Structures are given as C-alpha cells and as structure tokens.
C-alpha cells in the first residue's frame, strides 16, 4: 500500500481474540468489580460499627470501672435479702456515685424480686417505682422515682421520720430507675447521705386547716390534713385530705354506702374484694401518704349526679394505705368534691 507521498506503508496486524479468551477477560473484570464493591461495603460496615461501638465501649468502661467498698453496716443490714446471696456491699465509683450491690446465688426472677419488695416494706423501706430487669443505666429516666426509709419517733406517734434517696441523671436532671436486677446481681443507686439525712413528717397535724364550707364527707374520727381548691371544667371544686387510724375495710364500706345513698350512680373499685381477701394481691402501687412516696394499695369510689338537670355533680373518694410497716396504721382519704 502506498501513501500520498508514494511511500510503502506496512499494515498493522490486528490481534484476534478467540471466543473463550474474551469470556475469560470479562469474567476477570467482573470479579475485580465485585471485589472492589465488597471492599467498599466492608469499609461502610466497619465505619458503622466504629460509630456504634464507641459509645457502647464508653458505657462498658463506666459500668465496669473500678469501684471501692464503703463500709455501711446500717444499709447493708437493712437491704440484706431473705433469699440466698453471696455478698451485699455499698460501693462507690470513681465519680463518687454510690450503689448497694447484692451478688446473688441464683438468677433473679420477678417472683423473687416481689418477695424482696415485701421484705423491705416490712423493714420500713419503699422503692417508689419498680425494679428494672436489665443492666443499670443512667439514661433510664422517669417522671418520679424514690427509695424511702421510714422510722417511728419515740413518744410522737403522729410523726414519722424519713430518709429519702432520689438519684438523678446528671444531664437531664430527671430521676432514674435506681433499682436494677440482671442475672445474679441487684444494683441500687443511692444518694451519698442516704440513711444519714432524716426529716420529720407530721402525719396527723395538731391543728386542722380552716374549713370555710362544711362537708358531709368527713369520716368519723378522722383528721383534716390539707385542703386543695381547684377549678375543673364543670365548675369550682375542692379536695379534702383526711387521715384516719380506723380499719381500711370499714372506711371503704362506709364511703361506698354513703356515695350510693347520695348519688344516682356510684361505682366501686373492681378489685376491692380480692384486695381484702389477699392484702398483698393487686396492692403494690406507688402511692403517697402525707407526701411520703411509698408502696401500698388504694381504692377509688366515684359518684355522679345531675341535680339540677343539665349540671353534673360528682364525688371522688381515694382511700390509700401503705404496706410500709411504719405507715400502714395511717389511712389517707382524699375527697374530691365538685
């Protein structure tokens, strides 16, 4: 072949590809692409794991950080369980946070913890809230939670002394679920001065607050502790809080009959009979007696009326009794009039 200048130009040989070679080349290219994609995916997974594990690792470090024992014979004796256990100690971590730590011989179950609750109540200790089944966490916050120790005051039967612990999340400043059980360990977060700082609570006041308008809902022999005025949608109303030392059942039956006589429609507590026949059944509710956060049982009776026509009148009776051995003699009666 000649070019325009007349020179002979040697043709460039074209390399032929056999069919099986081109397939092999395509296969190799495909594997390389797949390997590259796999590396990218693995890198993405690794990055995600790093972001996930860093806070978890930090949590584990804070959870298992070195703790030292703080001798406290009073608390260890008070919180000692009735079931088999290896040790009970008050521990303090590097940030001066304290815990009651119980190492048990068997794994914790709901029935065992309920029995432990009953034992603590018999000693004047209330866990106002519930046990958390799982590892203790500073992030598990609730609206209200407290651990309270009560004791009677000598020669002052109407006064109770309490020591209360409300441990809070340092960031949110909200109460945490302080009592946790996981595996063979119970961990209860407490304030540093728990069991050392006490305050007196007057259950039955020497002088009653002034009652401007008489009420037909006072239980005979009860004492008026507090009056709260409120304005519901239906009009002005008030809550009268009484305390009595009479039998819980007698108080309940009195109000049930009285509400039934005074109102067209009255409703009673559906679990009343079960509670009276088995005081420990249906009764581990968080309640307050004179503002003391405790565990107990409460009844609710409601009555409704329409006199005059078109205007709804109502009465709500809440009757509460603590299962705390130092508070159980005081029956609180909240009467909501509207």
pLDDT, one tens digit per residue, over 199-221 is 999 999 889 998 888 888 999 99
CA distance 69 to 209: 48
Is 12 inside a domain boundary? no
267 and 196 together in one domain: no
What integer pLDDT is reported at residue 139 of this predicted model?
A: 87
Is 315 inside a domain boundary? yes
What integer pLDDT is reported at residue 60 of this predicted model?
A: 47
pLDDT higher than threshold 70 for residue 103: yes
Kindly tell me the sign of the dihedral angle through the C-alpha atoms of 156, 193, 86, 180: positive
DSSP 312: -
What integer pLDDT is reported at residue 129 of this predicted model?
A: 86
Assess contact for 150 and 161: CB atoms under 8 A. Answer: yes
pLDDT higher than threshold 60 for residue 335: yes
Task: Look at strands 313-322 and 331-337 and give their pairing.
Answer: antiparallel
CA distance 139 to 284: 25
More confident residue, 303 or 282: 303
Is 79 inside a domain boundary? yes
Q: What is the extent of the structural domain holding 131?
A: 68-201
Is 240 inside a domain boundary? yes
Among candidate residues 156, 185, 201, the one where a domain is terminated: 201
With cut-offs at 50, 70 and 90, classify the pLDDT of residue 53.
Answer: low
With cut-offs at 50, 70 and 90, classify the pLDDT of residue 37.
Answer: low
Q: How many residues are listed for the chain in this entry?
A: 338
* Cα–Cα distances in angstroms (integers) from residue 185 to residues 99, 178, 264, 336, in the given order: 12, 14, 54, 44
209 and 197 together in one domain: no
- The total of other beta-carbon atoms located within 10 Å of residue 195's CB is 17
Assess contact for 164 and 144: CB atoms under 8 A. Answer: no
Assess contact for 181 and 131: CB atoms under 8 A. Answer: yes
Is 128 inside a domain boundary? yes
Is 329 inside a domain boundary? yes
Q: Which of 318, 320, 316, 322 is nearest to 336 (CA)?
A: 316
210 and 136 together in one domain: no
Is 232 inside a domain boundary? yes
Q: Name the region of 183 (left: φ>0; alpha: ψ -120 to 50; beta: rest).
A: left
154 and 274 together in one domain: no
Assess contact for 298 and 202: CB atoms under 8 A. Answer: no
CA distance 140 to 59: 13
User: Starting at the edge strand that comes first in sequence, how are the strands of the sheet with 68-69 ordered?
Assistant: 68-69, 85-92, 98-104, 185-190, 179-182, 132-133
224 and 190 together in one domain: no
72 and 193 together in one domain: yes
273 and 219 together in one domain: yes
Tokens representing residue 130 in the block: 């519930």
What integer pLDDT is reported at residue 2 of this predicted model?
A: 47
CA distance 331 to 242: 8
* Cα–Cα distances in angstroms (integers) from residue 29 to residues 33, 143, 156, 224, in the given order: 6, 61, 92, 89
141 and 222 together in one domain: no
Is 179 inside a domain boundary? yes
Among candidate residues 170, 201, 232, the one where a domain is terminated: 201
Assess contact for 27 and 33: CB atoms under 8 A. Answer: no
What's the mean pLDDT in 188-202?
Answer: 95
189 and 210 together in one domain: no
What's the mean pLDDT in 94-108?
Answer: 93
What integer pLDDT is reported at residue 204 of this predicted model?
A: 92
The pTM for the full model equals 0.74
More confident residue, 58 or 324: 324
Among candidate residues 140, 175, 201, the one where a domain is terminated: 201
More confident residue, 225 or 59: 225
Q: Which residues contact 100 (CB under 8 A, 6 or more apart)?
A: 75, 76, 79, 88, 89, 90, 91, 186, 187, 188, 190
What integer pLDDT is reported at residue 147 of this predicted model?
A: 95
Task: Look at strands 85-92 and 199-202 and give their pairing.
Answer: unpaired
Place of tokens 């409120």: 230
CA distance 302 to 57: 53
Tokens representing residue 24 in the block: 């092999």
236 and 150 together in one domain: no
159 and 213 together in one domain: no
More confident residue, 315 or 191: 191
What integer pLDDT is reported at residue 7 of this predicted model?
A: 55
More confident residue, 60 or 262: 262
CA distance 187 to 196: 20
Number of domains in the chain: 2
């Amino acid at each position: 072949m000649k070019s325009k200048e007349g020179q002979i130009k040697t043709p460039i040989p074209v390399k032929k590809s056999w069919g099986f070679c081109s397939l092999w080349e395509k296969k190799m290219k495909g594997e390389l692409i797949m390997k590259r994609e796999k590396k990218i995916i693995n890198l993405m997974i690794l990055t995600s794991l790093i972001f996930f594990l860093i806070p978890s690792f930090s949590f584990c470090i804070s959870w298992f950080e070195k703790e030292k024992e703080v001798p406290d014979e009073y608390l260890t004796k008070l919180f000692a369980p009735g079931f088999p256990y290896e040790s009970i100690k008050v521990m303090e971590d590097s940030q001066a946070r304290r815990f009651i730590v119980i190492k048990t011989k068997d794994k914790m179950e709901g029935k065992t913890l309920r029995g432990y609750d009953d034992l603590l109540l018999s000693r004047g200790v209330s866990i106002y809230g519930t046990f958390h089944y799982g590892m203790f966490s500073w992030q598990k916050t609730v609206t209200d939670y407290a651990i309270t120790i009560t004791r009677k005051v000598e020669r002052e039967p109407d006064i109770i002394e309490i020591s209360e612990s409300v441990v809070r999340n340092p960031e949110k400043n909200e109460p945490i679920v302080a009592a946790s059980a996981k595996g063979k360990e119970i961990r209860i977060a407490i304030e540093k001065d728990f069991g050392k700082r006490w305050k007196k609570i007057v259950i039955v006041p020497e002088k009653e607050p002034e009652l401007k308008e008489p009420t037909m809902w006072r239980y005979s022999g009860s004492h008026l502790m507090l009056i709260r005025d409120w304005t519901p949608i239906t009009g002005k109303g008030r809550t009268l809080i009484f305390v009595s030392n009479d039998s819980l059942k007698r108080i309940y039956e009195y109000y049930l009959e009285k509400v039934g006589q005074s109102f067209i429609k009255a409703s009673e507590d559906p679990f009343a009979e079960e509670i009276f026949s088995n005081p420990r059944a249906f009764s581990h509710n968080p309640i307050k007696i004179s503002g003391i956060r405790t565990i107990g049982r409460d009844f609710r009776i409601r009555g409704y009326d329409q006199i005059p026509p078109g205007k709804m009148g109502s009465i709500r009776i809440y009757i509460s009794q603590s299962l705390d051995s130092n508070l159980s003699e005081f029956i609180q009666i909240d009467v909501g009039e509207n």
